[in-house]
Amino acid sequence: MDINQKLYEQKHQYFVCSIFKRACLIRLVNYLIFLATLMLISSCNQTVNNGNEGSTPLKSIKIGIFLPTNHTDPLVRKKATRYLKAAKLAIDDLRPINLELILYETDGLQEDIILKAQEAINNDIDIAVGTMVDEETMVLSSFLKNSGIKLFSFSDQSSYLGKNTFHMAIGKVNLAEQILSYLMDIGYQKFLILEGLTDTEVITQNELTKLVHNKKGKIARYLKIKENSESLQIMKTSIETFRSSPEKEAIIILGFPDQNMIFALASLKASLGEDRLERIQVVGLTRWSIEQKLLVEPALEKAWFPFLNKQRFKEFSNRYQKKYGIKPSLESTIAYDSIAAIGALVKTAENNNTRYPFTFSAITNPSGFYGVLGTFRLRKDGLSERLMGVGESLDSQIYILKKPATKF
């Protein structure tokens, strides 16, 4: 072999070795990158994939649910159990979104709710829902606020609402506002207010007066109906102001009509005559549509009331009954809607590659959420708004005068 041939073979071997070493180095670097990526994915605990290309799945979201399942009152415990079942059903319906529901059982005492709130904070919950007891909710809201944890409240009280607490209950003011808007849009401007049996769901006199005045309406008189002849006489006397007025008038009833109210209405209708009945409309401001006994009451024939999306509730009720073997309460939809809203916020954050789904702006998005009883949204003052229709009681059935809207 001559010297030139030998030099050629040495150069060739050196070239091949250089290529091999470079290939090995590239493979090593790629392998290290793969390992680093795998470790990053594992550390982030990313388990949610909603199928949208380009979305970033979030970690498992911890939801702390506070319910008085240890309360001394068996009725409160029963109600709390129904709320819990509805929340668990929502978790199932929202899969594969990775939501973890953690129950914190309370007994209605302030000391207990503080301990449970601290336990939840130590467990690094991402958001909280509950409780039904007003006193508990006030303490819970205040305690979580310092930790920056948002609360979707099941309570009927709304005095403690702020930037961290949102009212999920079907708002009494919201119900009244929508039915009043409907009445005034079709020409009713003057109202006789009758208050009978009331509870925490009933709008107060001051709240109702403010709504009517803001809409340029007029309250002719505000009467509390009692079981005595004096009360009935006052009501009949007040109706005389309606007789001489050319305006379209409505009798607004606060709360669910008790026997005193029904007797008063029956007496009133008898004294007015058919001609006046055509111009005076009886209106309820609460959810009469869920009380079948009210629909068959002759004194409430042709009465109007807020009408929620019953088809959606029927679908929810069927799933609930299939899973648990019992019927759900209407109030338990609040728990379902709270979890459903959380699921929607998580999914939106994933689609937008946002790491924290529970920002104030996201929660108060004007478009709202689609719930069991229809579309609702959470306002910046912490109150909720639900889109409702208007129903009429006629021949023991509900006739829809105005369908609930699906979008704000």
* Per-residue pLDDT tens listing for the chain (408 residues): 554 444 344 444 443 344 334 444 444 444 343 333 323 323 333 333 333 334 566 678 999 999 999 999 999 999 999 999 999 999 999 999 999 999 999 988 888 899 999 999 999 999 999 888 888 888 899 889 889 999 999 987 777 777 899 999 877 788 888 899 999 999 888 888 888 655 555 677 888 889 999 888 888 778 777 655 566 666 666 666 665 666 778 888 887 787 777 877 777 777 766 666 666 788 988 878 777 777 888 888 889 998 887 788 899 999 999 999 999 988 899 999 999 999 999 999 999 988 899 999 999 999 999 999 889 999 998 989 999 899 999 888 888 999 888 888
For 130, half-sphere exposure in the C-beta direction (CA atoms, 13 angstrom radius) is 34
Q: CA dist 239 to 67, 248, 265, 399, Å?
A: 46, 13, 11, 27
CA distance 379 to 365: 8
110's CB contacts (< 8 A; 6+ apart) are 135, 136, 139
Question: Is residue 105 within 8 Å of 134, Cβ to Cβ?
Answer: no
Q: What are phi and psi of 385, to 5 degrees?
A: -125, 130
Contact 190, 146 (CB under 8 A): no
pLDDT at 46: 31
Where are the chain's structural domains? Answer: 53-170+309-388, 173-307
Q: Taking every pair of C-alpha atoms in the chain, what is the biggest distance, in angstroms? A: 134
Phi, psi of 161 (to 5 degrees): -65, 145
46 Cβ neighbours under 8 A, 6+ residues apart? 56, 57, 58, 59
- Give the type of residue at 285: L
How far apart CA 6 and CA 239 sit, in angstroms, is: 122
Which pairing describes strands 389-394 and 397-402: parallel, antiparallel, or unpaired? antiparallel
CATH topology assigned to domain 173-307 = Rossmann fold (3.40.50)
Amino acid at 242: F
- Would you say the CATH fold of 173-307 matches that of 53-170+309-388? yes
N-terminal to C-terminal alpha carbon distance within the chain:
91
Rounded Cα gap, residues 91 and 113, in angstroms: 24
**Residues contacting 147, CB < 8 A, separation 6+:** 121
Q: How far apart are CA 103 and CA 282, in angstroms?
A: 44
What is the topology classification, in CATH, of domain 53-170+309-388? Rossmann fold (3.40.50)
**pLDDT given for residue 232 in this prediction:** 65
